[in-house]
Structure 1
Amino acid sequence: MTNAPEANTDAAWPQPADVIAPGTILLAATPIGNVLDASARLVFALAQADIVAAEDTRRALNLAGRLGIRIAGKLVAYHEHNEAAQTPWLIEQAQAGQRILMISDAGMPCVSDPGYRLIEAAHQSGVPASIAPGPSAVLTALALSGMPTDRWIFEGFMPRKRGEQERFFSTLATQSATTIVFDSPRRLQATLSHMAEILPERQVAVCRELTKTYEDVWVGTPSQLAERAENARGEIVIVIRGAGEMMVDDDQAIVEVLALVDQGMKLKAAARHVAHQYGLRSRALYQGALDARQG
């Protein structure tokens, strides 16, 4: 039996003093579900920072407890309702040499969470800023969705009002990039049903409870997913396939349908396949291909 290689004793975790330099603001991503996703830098930063600015101080304390550490510095609230007042104070503290850590409830600060105003002010005032990257619901959902990742757009939370949603979905009709949005589980079924009226054949992925025990990803058309969404629970991220690869005219799409039929696929199945790929109506493609064959 071959012995396992010995561990490299020269390699070691960075000591806490290496994580945040005095007078620096550090953004740090926190787990979006599974606490094991916390980075070593986050753990050290929570223990080292002179000031921890947290979107929710109770959640910050809960996170520290789950990580088995104690927040030794001053814990202050930093959220959308007090950003204007807290930002100048945090900049002053950094200028005085304090080590500042900024965290949101879950995931990456600044992404639909507080933080960007603080970093904007840091750049303007010459305060050094850095980041401890880590979990992000947006990137996690994008990777799990199976949608194209070469071009994508994050639109924050789905509009709530029907008229605003209708305008949003209408813009997606020609949006070539993959689109990512957050939504409430209580509104999910209504959102998907409305999307089905405007983008009936568009491929959508609903990513639920990412990294948690009951993580689930549904992929299909909006109407297919709406049927599953009646009792949806947990955090929801919706990923919508873009129209970039779908920018084809009807004649080209019909040619592709007929080519699949020539390869042995049934006409209806071929029409559904091409419609799903390009975000078109399968019924119209079926009829167009049928007319072309009869013509």
Structure 2
Amino acid sequence: MGQKRGTLLVCATPIGNLGDITLRAIEVLKSVNLIAAEDSRVTLKLLNHFGIRKPIVIYHQKPKRLEWLLQQLKEGKNIALVCNAGTPSISDPGVPLVKRALQEGITVSPIPGPSAVTAALSVSGLDAQRFLFLGFLPRNQRERKELLEQIKALPFTIVVYESPHRLRENLSDMLEVLNDRVVVLCRELTKLHEEVALTMLSELKRRYERETPVGEFTLVIEGARAERREPDWSKVDETVKSMLGEGRSVKEIAKEVSSKFGVPRSEVYKRSLKLARNFQSS
């Protein structure tokens, strides 16, 4: 009988306020054999705050380190994967370890918790039923504009992470490609200087032409608005006349035709009454 393998526990940690850590995350960090971290200095502060002492291994800098971590899991060690803030593998270098663990048949289990994406969406007031998360936009301007061009016509809310030193040029490109849109600025979420502000891309660009960007930014941007096209009323009228000829009632016609052509039922009803009078007098 083979040796029992360990579990890779993908553990979310606070994005700012340490009080946001979950009870389960604390239990996991206390119970695992070691912690795979993005930056040992950041993780050590978290562990010290909660009085936790565990070996910390940096997981993304050397390929041999990843192989070593996989071997530890195969030998039965339980490992907690953490990033500097929020949920690992979300715009984060933890993906290769998770992917390799799954490929090797090792159990991977989520320990849910804070995430800047969901935190920003929750306070944005924008539609979050469907959204596009783009992480950090490409550093190369041509690649950045190409990506924005690909998604500019989509009706879904967009979420992006921004660093302060790239915010100005990225806002300029977003305004150029996406045109002016509603945007919710989420800065320093859960921290002392937290800011959530509803504005426009043009206004935000002007603001940071005057101010120096400071802090960590998540931008929630309105999706493309559907263009309203004027209905072809001649086709609407033809359909109404055809249905009147079949002996259908005006009420019934208004309901069916408004649904078919995407036009107001009241307008179809008025046109149907007029056409019905003409139909009866002819």
Gaps (5+ residues) in structure 1?
A: 1-20, 253-295
Question: Is contact 2:5-2:106 (8 Å) kept?
Answer: no
The 3-state SS of whatever aligns with 2:207 is coil
Give 2:22's aligned residue: 39
User: Is 1:112 aligned to 2:91, yes or no?
Assistant: yes
- Name the residue aligned to 1:144: 123
TM-score by length of 1: 0.71
Report the count of equivalent residues: 226
After superposing on structure 2, the runs of 4+ consecutive aligned residues of structure 1 that deviate more than 3 Å are 249-252
Distance in structure 1 (CA, Å) of the matches to 2:169 and 2:37: 33
Change (3 A) 1:196 1:251: farther
**Number of the residue aligned with 2:52:** 70
CA distance in 2 between counterparts of 1:169 and 1:121 reads 31
**1:107-148: CA deviation from partner (whole Å, max 9, x where unpaired):** 000001122222222222221121110000111111111111
Q: Distance in 1 between matches of 2:66 and 2:59?
A: 8
Instruction: Give the aligned residue type for 2:19.
Output: L
Q: Distance in 1 between matches of 2:98 and 2:166?
A: 33
Is 1:174 the counterpart of 2:156? The answer is no
Q: How far 1:214 moved relative to its partner?
A: 0.8
Query: 1:141-180: per-residue Cα shift (whole Å, max 9, x none)?
Result: 1111111111111112122333233223322321221111
State how far apart, in whole Å, the 1-side matches of 2:174 and 2:102 are: 40
Change beyond 3 A, Cα 1:199–1:123: closer
The match for 1:55 is: 38
The correspondence for 2:220, drawn from 239, 242, 252, is 239
Q: TM-score, normalised by structure 2?
A: 0.74
RMSD: 1.9
Q: Which has the larger radius of gyration?
A: 2
SS in 2 for 1:76: strand
Runs of at least 5 residues in structure 2 that lack an aligned partner in the other structure: 232-282
* Cα separation, 1, equivalents of 2:115 and 2:229: 38
1:1-295 aligned at under 5 Å gives the runs 23-67=6-50, 69-72=51-54, 74-79=55-60, 81-82=61-62, 84-229=63-208, 230-243=211-224, 246-249=225-228, 251=230
